[in-house]
Amino acid sequence: DSALAWVQRCMKGYRLPEPTRWADAVASGRPAFIRWQEIQR
């Protein structure tokens, strides 16, 4: 797999790949991410 193929698989209709969106959510402390984190425990 190429890096481009990996990034394309991570995209879900947004301009930013999903891992980048999650990193932004973690850094900003978004409520949706906090709820997801609590569910995972």
Q: Give the pLDDT band (50/70/90) at residue 38.
A: confident
Q: Give the pLDDT band (50/70/90) at residue 40.
A: confident
Higher pLDDT: 2 or 7? It is: 2
DSSP code for 34: H
What's the pLDDT score for residue 14? 67
Residue span of the structural domain in which 19 resides: 3-40
Task: Check if the beta carbon of residue 25 is closer than 8 Å to that of residue 33.
Answer: yes
Q: What is the mean pLDDT of residues 7-29?
A: 77
Number of domains in the chain: 1
Q: What is the mean pLDDT of residues 28-36?
A: 76
CA distance 21 to 29: 12
Collect all residues with Cβ–Cβ distance below 8 Å to 21 and sequence separation of at least 6: 14
